Structure 1
Amino acid sequence: MLLSLRHMCSGFGVDELSERQRSQFLLKWAKRSSFTWKEIIQHPKHGLGYEMMPARQIHPTPPEHLQQDKYMVFRHDGNQPVVGFKVGDVFHALWFEADYGDVYDHG
């Protein structure tokens, strides 16, 4: 599993996260990086795994060339999500949620 921050959207990047959130994200992603995508699928969505979310539920609008029908949602600090998409073995992060509810409604 590889991570790309190349397509991070303005206002939802690493700079918006608290020091704790950045640390928790890095620690969790380091654990994920030791697994294959087939292994990650076996993990719960609120653990090291992910869930797929329809684009209509995401608040920010991605650049047109990065629009998807569904996005992958991983959690970092508690249930704070990082949302993006996968191409090959690479997860491309688009949005970090620093404040609960900024990227999508949590119900």
Structure 2
Amino acid sequence: MSKNNRRKIIPPQDESISISLNHIYKENYPLFCFKYLSETSISTCRDHKFFFEFLIRLQKISQLGWPEIRTAPRHGFGMESISVDQIKPQLPACITPDVRKLHIFRATGDNHPFIGLQIDRIFRVLFIEANFGDIYDHE
């Protein structure tokens, strides 16, 4: 690349949204990890709207931060716990026997859940339930 064609970072127009590494390490917002995501339930889902709504939901949850999530309604943008014994599919190997509870968020506005485990700021998504009852029995 010639000197004139090198890529550069353009500073943000609004200084209030500038990001520094120091700021990122202090934030208390959820980070979502899909490394351990099971294909159970989502492998046969062909509803593109469902996945679009899920992405929008992740964005909204991410904007709240963990303190706000803890006080939000469970069928809104909050989360609730579920016993690992209630999960129908086999849990991924990363879930050790000492883990007794997982966490549930709503994946879409119609209350389809996604299930995972929060450790610090990271929420490890294990299952996304595209069809009610695929991952656990709903009461």
> 1:56-83, CA deviations, whole angstroms, 9 ceiling, x for partnerless residues?
1111121233242101000122110000
Task: Report the counterpart of residue 56 of structure 2 in structure 1.
Answer: 27
Aligned length: 107
Alignment counterpart, residue 87 of structure 1, candidates 109, 119, 131: 119
Q: Give, in angstroms, the shift of residue 92 of structure 1.
A: 0.4
- Give the corresponding residue for 2:31: 2
- Matched position secondary structure for 2:80: strand
Q: Percent identity?
A: 30
Return closer, same or farther for 1:63/1:41 CA change in 2, 3 Å cut-off.
same
Supply the AA of the counterpart residue of 1:94.
L
2:80 and 2:89 map into 1 onto residues whose CA distance is 18
- Identify which of structures 1 and 2 has the higher relative contact order when contacts are C-alpha pairs closer than 8 Å and 6+ apart: 1
In structure 2, what is the equivalent of residue 98 of structure 1?
130
Identify if the C-alpha distance between structure 1 residues 72 and 15 changes in structure 2 by more than 3 Å, giving closer, same or farther: same
* Mapping of residues 27-106 of structure 1, within 5 Å: 27-67=56-96, 68-77=99-108, 78-106=110-138
Question: SS of the residue aligned with 1:103?
Answer: coil
**Structure 2 length as normaliser, TM-score?**
0.71
Once the two structures are superposed, residues 37-65 of structure 1 have per-residue CA deviations (whole angstroms, 9 ceiling, x without a partner) of 11111110000011000111111121233
Residue 66 of structure 1 aligns to which amino acid in structure 2? I
Distance 1:15 1:5 in 2: 18
What are the ranges of 5 or more consecutive residues in structure 1 without an aligned counterpart? none
C-alpha separation between the residues in 1 aligned to 2:33 and 2:113?
16
Q: More strand by proportion, 1 or 2? A: 1
Change (3 A) 1:14 1:26: farther
Q: Rg bigger for which structure? A: 2
Q: State which drifts further: 32-41 or 89-98.
A: 32-41
Instruction: Name the SS of the counterpart of 1:95 in structure 2.
Output: strand
The aligned amino acid for 1:76 is A
